[in-house]
Amino acid sequence: MPVVAVRPAKPIARRPVVRPVAADEKPDGPPCPACGTPNLPGRRFCRRCAAPLHTREQPAPLPWWRTVWPLRRRVRSGSGRALRRTLLVLAVVGLLFAGFLFLPAGRYLFEDVRDKLGGTTEISPAEVTASAQAPGHPAAAAVDGLTNKYWGAPTLGSSLTCVFDKPFRLVGVVVHTGVSKEPQEFRQGARPTRADLIVTTADGEVREKAVTLTDKPGPQTVRTGISDVVSVQLVLRAASGQGEGRPIAVGEVEFFRRT
């Protein structure tokens, strides 16, 4: 049988399948805040009006003190938190600083730092007396600014008292021992090696400090750091080179206050 051309068939569209209408769902769940339609748990939008089912909670109103500048700024979530933390830290630091100043130990450390960072200047006493003195070596020779003149103490236990006209912060005391700062002449007289420094303040408080002096010429610094000083007494406790006719020599005593 011969093969002949065949005309293409026409496509036939598929007939639609009619599905049964589902019954309207009536879920038992939370109602929509907009229309009241119940929705299944877990839905984000209402099945009827498409309104959001989970609305964001409104932030609580600010307290009155947060409405005052600069605390009233609240542009975004967390805004103002850094400022509140900064103010809290400053308040804690302020309380610690106040306690630091009012406590005796804190006050002492604060004044000691000021002594180290500030400048000093020499202050001269208004009056100088001695409990005893060798002939030709009066108490005034210990504060005359010269080291070739000295106060001669006849015995141990003798004291030199310096009184000042107004209270001041005594930062330190410089003591020159011996009859001279020249090494050869230094050994020709007796020299104190130990003494007590008795400091009296304006409120009547007395502070005593034991001082050890090296047996060599030159200045020797004694740090004190005492406020409201009105008088300083130097009591000799030990000496070297003592002998007949050789008084214990204190060449110079200098006092320094904080500027």
How far is CA 32 from each of CA 41, 42, 47, 57, 59, rounded to the nearest angstrom? 11, 12, 9, 16, 22
Residue 193 has pLDDT above 80, yes or no: yes
Give the model confidence (pLDDT) of 108-130 as tens digits: 666 667 777 778 899 999 999 99
pTM: 0.60
Coil, strand or helix: which one is 238? strand
Give the model confidence (pLDDT) of 39-97 as tens digits: 888 888 888 888 888 776 666 777 766 666 555 554 444 555 677 778 878 877 776 66
HSE-CB of 188 using CA atoms within 13 angstroms: 8
Q: Which of 200, 146, 140, 143 is nearest to 170 (CA)?
A: 200
Give the model confidence (pLDDT) of 215-246 as tens digits: 999 999 999 989 999 999 999 999 999 988 89
